[in-house]
Chain A
Amino acid sequence: QKEVEQNSGPLSVPEGAIASLNCTYSDRGSQSFFWYRQYSGKSPELIMFIYSNGDKEDGRFTAQLNKASQYVSLLIRDSQPSDSATYLCAVNWGNTPLVFGKGTRLSVIA
């Protein structure tokens, strides 16, 4: 059974700090990795996706993938109170639908 694991948090960081969110997955055959942000009472929205080992940067966000360790992370630089949300890690294997983790709740303290 394919599983995606995340620490549920909450993860609290001060404003301006780097927030580091981590995710592990169960199957080495996975190919694509996605990070979604979900504000309380809202639906998930896509932040980033990564396919290859290494880092991918987009503005204040950096996704990191290590397939050998079955580990993907999201770094948020210069964290803002508006970044406070639940961050969902999602993985798909080939053309299968996304499997989501439970999400990590991030709280950025002003």
Chain B
Amino acid sequence: EAGVAQSPRYKIIEKRQSVAFWCNPISGHATLYWYQQILGQGPKLLIQFQNNGVVDDSQLPKDRFSAERLKGVDSTLKIQPAKLEDSAVYLCASTFKTGFGGYTFGSGTRLTVV
């Protein structure tokens, strides 16, 4: 089966600019997650979708981050405006069943904010 697709792989932007990341999960996986991984740390959850509905966005900085999953398949994560501390790898993951922690991760997007 095809894996989780993410794009772009790398992005460099200046602070206060906006950026968007795209994710296409494994076909049939209803649950999709966005995690942020800062260098030297473990992934930290930003948002969880079940189909096209938000299940958990308690850790999403909503003043600057937004995410959507229209039609319950692809998802986009946006940051506007970016701050230096947003420099991280943004990982998208999907799983076939909510509650099962065996996630398949995409290759990630490495964001550098200068």
Binding site for B on A (CB under 8 A): 4, 6, 8, 32, 34, 42-46, 49, 88, 90-92, 94-103
Other contacts beyond A88-B42, A90-B42, A103-B41: 11, CB < 8 A: A4-B42, A32-B99, A34-B101, A34-B102, A43-B108, A44-B43, A44-B91, A44-B105, A97-B56, A98-B45, A98-B101
Q: How many Cβ-Cβ contacts under 8 Å join chain A to chain B?
A: 55
Q: Is the CB of B99 within 8 A of A43?
A: no
Cβ-based interface call for B62 (8 A): no
B100, B101, B105: which contacts A43 (Cβ < 8 A)?
B105
Assess whether A92 is in contact with B101, with CB atoms less than 8 Å apart.
yes
Q: Is the CB of A92 within 8 A of B99?
A: yes
When A96-B56, A97-B33 are in contact, do A102 and B40 touch as well, CB less than 8 Å? yes
